[in-house]
Amino acid sequence: MITKVLLPKLGETMEEGAIGKWRVKEGDKVNKGDVLFEITTDKANFEYEALKGGYIRKILYKEGIVVPVLVPVAYTADSMSEPLPKEEPLPPAKPKEEQISSPAPVSAPISAPVVEPVFTPAPVVQAIFTADGRIFATPIAKRLAKEKGLDLLNIAGSGPNGRILERDILNYKPGTMKAAPAVTAAASLNMAKLKSNGGSKTSDLSQMRKIIADRLKKSKQEAPHFYLQLDVDMTELLKKRAELTAKGVAVSVNDFVIFASAVALREFPLMNSHFVNEKVVQFEDANVGVAVALENGLVVPVIKQANNKTVRAIAAEAKILAEKAKTGKLTAEDYSGGTFTISNMGMLGVDNFSAIINPPQVGILAVSAAKKQTVVINDAIAIRSIMKVTLSADHRVIDGAYAAKFLTRVKEVLEKYLFNI
């Protein structure tokens, strides 16, 4: 029996993925649970495991090809003698570096057959630099290079626009670098101009940045944002946190904010919802997304059921997710299912900012730095640590008074230290 291996849909917004690396070849016998191939998305790399045992009868797409979700990428069979189905082919797919990402409409699973596309490997070039002088490489590639003691300057990149990928590190052999002199010279010339402030450099958006651009543009165009801001007196909380630190309990300010937000989300459930197809979908659990900045974009891993967790549990989970995000090891489960998002720029010293809602959510909380200010308490001047928080809300679902009550509850939990440590 011939079975289609479909490119899975790993998240709510995923519409396509690139074949990162095949772990098997045609004719191999595999068991259920064996890893067949790696999938690269705008957020992370994932491994696809066989759903049943059999033989790899046909691989339809080579490494580096971008494929729509739910499209067959291979055929497995109970034996190698079974004939392949005769089907009308889809248009040949392009290598990842030639793809232009655009939002695809949500539709029924694609069942159209495919044939093996013509694949031309991307030209290999010498290490390319970003506009700020850093080598253009993925976080995984940088980590592997460091572990192996390799200098990225000596490694050719086979990714989009010459970016160094994981496979470039794994396949690298000293003295075998293939450089394209014309590209190398152009890159060197651009860097010289940039350093002297005498020129400029134009580059394409990365796959991740394209997705971010599309989603946030859509959010600002479709969701009528309104903003509410409150000052939160963090003086007592910071004292309590210092006491916990002295006892060896490591929790960040953001961990407290996540806890406080989860409390408020349970009490104001409309904030804990999605707006989809003109309908409001409310959720029982507060799954709080935490924005993590990467070199080439932003990912939002999710603290699941934050409303049922202590501050310590939130802190431990947030630390693991942040590390996985920075090393490119997030799974689909790690960043899916968010019902509300927190963006904290306090550690960067930002005094105040407003964030764009992450659709289909209806709210996001922007958290700034806690700084000492003079305030009036009981008609007396005092020095307190004040942190500004700004709520962005979708006016299609949330009204001003409701949002104000939600934000006031977050402030109350933080100021009165109403925490389950």
Check if 395 is active-site.
Answer: yes
The answer to the question of residue 187 being in a domain is yes
**Confidence class for position 340, pLDDT limits 50, 70, 90:** very high
Same domain, 216 and 228: no
- Do the domain assignments include residue 110? no
- Could you tell me whether strands 66-68 and 16-22 are parallel, antiparallel, or unpaired per DSSP bridges? antiparallel
Phi, psi (deg, nearest 5) at residue 57: -80, -40
Kindly indicate the confidence band of residue 401, based on its pLDDT and cuts at 50, 70 and 90.
very high
State the DSSP code for 164. B
Least confident of 24-28, 171-175, 271-275: 171-175
User: What pLDDT, on a 0 to 100 scale, did the predictor assign at position 184?
Assistant: 43
Residue 114 domain flag:
no
Q: Based on the domain organization, do 182 and 68 belong to the same domain?
A: no
Residue among 193, 395, 405, 416 flagged as catalytic: 395
Domain CATH for 86: 2.40.50.100
Say whether pLDDT at 180 is over 50.
Answer: no
Task: Kindly state whether residues 187 and 234 are assigned to the same domain.
Answer: no
Lowest mean pLDDT among 33-42, 101-110, 183-192, 397-406: 101-110
Radius of gyration of the chain (CA): 25
Q: Which of 26-35, 136-145, 253-262, 269-278 bottoms out in mean pLDDT, i.e. has the lowest?
A: 136-145
Domain final residue, candidates 168, 196, 222: 222
List 380's β-bridge partners, or say none.
377
What domain count does the chain have? 3
Shared domain for 234 and 284, answered yes or no, is yes
Collapsed DSSP state (helix, strand, coil) of residue 151: coil
Q: What is the DSSP letter of 296?
A: T
Domain with residue 294: its CATH number is 3.30.559.10
How many other C-beta atoms are found inside a 10 Å radius of the C-beta of residue 381? 8
> Is residue 326 in some structural domain?
yes
List of E strands, 182-311: 225-233, 273-276, 279-282, 288-290, 292-294, 297-299, 302-303
CATH number at residue 154: 4.10.320.10
Closest to 159 measured CA to CA, from 132, 190, 195, 121: 121
Residue 307 included in any domain: yes
Instruction: Based on the fold, state whether residues 312 and 352 are members of the same structural domain.
Output: yes
Do residues 198 and 245 both lie within one domain? no
Write out pLDDT tens, residues 231-266. 999 999 999 999 999 999 999 999 999 999 999 999
- 63 in any annotated domain: yes
**Judgement on whether residues 237 and 324 belong to the same structural domain of the protein:** yes
Which residue is it, tokens 């005498």? 198
Q: Within this chain, do residues 259 and 406 fall inside the same structural domain, yes or no? A: yes
Mean pLDDT is lowest, of 60-64, 264-268, 308-312, for: 60-64
Three-class secondary structure of residue 311 per DSSP: helix
- What is the pLDDT at residue 331? 81
- DSSP summary character for residue 409: H
Residues 126 and 178 in one domain: yes
- From residue 305, alpha-carbon distances to 83, 145, 249, 254 in Å are 48, 37, 21, 16
- What pLDDT, on the 0 to 100 scale, is given for residue 381? 95
Same domain? For 349 and 273 the reply is yes
Where in the sequence is the domain holding 161, given as residue range(s)?
122-222
Q: What are phi and psi of 274, to 5 degrees?
A: -115, 150
Between the alpha carbon of residue 337 and those of residues 120, 260, 357, the distances in Å are: 37, 19, 15
pLDDT tens by residue, 68-94? 888 889 999 988 888 887 754 454 455
pLDDT per residue over 279-293, tens digit each?
A: 999 999 999 999 888
Looking at the fold, whether 242 and 172 belong to one and the same domain comes out as: no
Name the pLDDT band for 295 (thresholds 50, 70, 90).
Answer: confident
